[in-house]
Amino acid sequence: MEYVLGTLIVFNNIARAFGIGAPQLLYIFSGVVLVYFIIKRNSLVKTIFAMFTVIAVYAFLVQLITRGPVWMDMLLFLLHALLNITFTIFMVNNFEQMDKDKLILSVAGGQLLLTVIASFLPESVLWQYAEYFTGERASRLKLLYSEAAELSAICGIFLLLVAYRLMSRKFSWKVAVSGLIFLVDMLISYGMAGMISFVVSVIIMIMIYIASNRSKVIEDTFMKVKWAAIMVVIFIVMGGIIIISPVYGLRVVDIVKGTDNGLFFTIQQPLTAFVYTMHATSWKGVGFGGLASSPVGAALGYNVGKNSFLNVMINGGALGVVFILLLLFCLLWMCLLYGNVLNISFLIYTFLYQSTSGRFDDPMNWFLYGIILVDCLKTKARLEEEEYP
């Protein structure tokens, strides 16, 4: 299963990469899983449809309040929601039993194969041309993902898994080499949002891990040297990237100086759209057609922002705000009560990345939600057994 899931992740958007209007492979996989659950009369079907019912009620209320003319957009949202919930429940039910090393290796191996092919085909669909506000031009590696930023995000997810795996278990050269592959692909993709999200999340992961193992670190000199060396290596690698790469270097300098128009536009545009939409629609939202089918979008001059959470709020108005806040609150509450280092790091990564890029209905977001919840629910069950044996 690990190799199947890893292959699906790498080739998820292969149809879109070649201009074919076929669904993502992870959606197809989730559909197959749902049909299998139904045929086997699995008890998880009740959980899936209970969660889906909540989202369906939300969707119909938004459609009625906004009087959206595009019902197909709402139906597509519901279809994606059903498949994504199925994927999350599948991850919650199976991730604990999966061999994490095999999953990491399968994704790294698939990306390495495509990266080698891309090195010989510089003008192929495996690359994305970009011109930055700084004036720098770059051919960004995107492989078969929808865009280079998505490749950077996927690399960030698995780099966090690699970091946690290396911290919590015996050192593995296979996992370490896989991490190097993810890091190289992230660098060539020039995905600033994924890079920043990963760096912040992994530093917080290390700090929480050290704090939770404080007594061992204080008593063991080797542990002190080990963690000090890890932090130094991270800063040296990141500093080397900034110095060597003209794209990363100029952008980081501009971000520090506050003159990076790209980052400013990415953060400010969705906020402007949100404030304007709430004012123009009296907190009703623009409906599931989004800004593209709304007079609000025409007035603003653009169709969609890069903050996936704010996009949901823009579509759903006050209900969208409540929906997103409840989702984030539930994830945060579970992490605070029952989470570990990995859960909290993934939650931070998800929030940072989805606030600057990505799409709310992307299956990989729900892959993360599944990973966040699986350990939390396991810890909750264990504590309940200890309390009520």
pLDDT digits (tens, 9 = 90+) for 234-277: 777 766 666 656 666 666 666 666 556 666 667 777 888 888 88
Q: What is the pLDDT of residue 196?
A: 82
What type of residue is 244? I
Q: Is 124 helix (H, G, I), strand (E, B) or coil?
A: coil
Nearest alpha-carbon partner for 13 in 145, 163, 140: 145
Three-point CA angle 273, 276, 279, nearest 5°: 145
Three-point CA angle 129, 196, 136, nearest 5°: 30
**Do β-strands 137-141 and 127-131 pair in parallel, antiparallel, or remain unpaired?**
antiparallel
The radius of gyration of the chain's CA atoms, rounded to the nearest angstrom, is 22
324-375: per-residue pLDDT in tens? 999 999 888 888 888 888 888 899 998 888 887 767 888 988 898 888 888 8
pLDDT higher than 80, residue 4 = yes
- As a whole number, mean pLDDT of residues 86-111 equals 92
Q: What is the pLDDT of residue 84?
A: 94
Q: Give me the half-sphere count of Cα atoms (radius 13 Å) on the Cβ side of residue 50.
A: 6
Q: What is the pLDDT of residue 256?
A: 61
67-95: per-residue pLDDT in tens? 766 688 889 899 999 999 999 999 988 88
Percent composition of the chain: helix, strand, coil (DSSP 3-state, to 5): 75, 5, 20
Q: How far apart are CA 30 and CA 12, in angstroms?
A: 12
Buried b (16+ CB within 10 A) or exposed e, 198-216: bbebbbebbebbbeebeee
The pair of structure tokens assigned to 21 is 């209007």
pLDDT higher than 80, residue 55 = yes
146-204: per-residue pLDDT in tens? 888 889 999 999 999 998 888 877 778 899 899 999 999 998 888 878 888 888 888 88
Cα–Cα distances in angstroms (integers) from residue 227 to residues 200, 215, 335, 347, in the given order? 16, 14, 24, 23
Q: How far apart are CA 93 and CA 87, in angstroms?
A: 10
199-218: per-residue pLDDT in tens? 888 888 888 888 877 777 77
pLDDT higher than 80, residue 20 = no
Contact predicate 379/92, CB 8 Å: no
Q: What is the pLDDT of residue 295?
A: 75
pLDDT higher than 90, residue 108 = yes
Is the model more confident about 252 or about 60? Answer: 60
Is the model more confident about 297 or about 134? Answer: 297
Mean of all residue pLDDT scores within the chain: 83
- Flag the least confident range among 31-45, 172-186, 278-292: 278-292
Q: What is the pLDDT of residue 248?
A: 62
The alpha carbon torsion through 120, 122, 125, 126 (nearest 10 deg) reads 70
pLDDT higher than 90, residue 119 = yes
Contact predicate 149/193, CB 8 Å: yes
Cα–Cα distances in angstroms (integers) from residue 220 to residues 111, 204, 209, 224, in the given order? 38, 22, 15, 7
pLDDT higher than 60, residue 133 = no
pTM (two decimals): 0.89
pLDDT higher than 80, residue 143 = yes
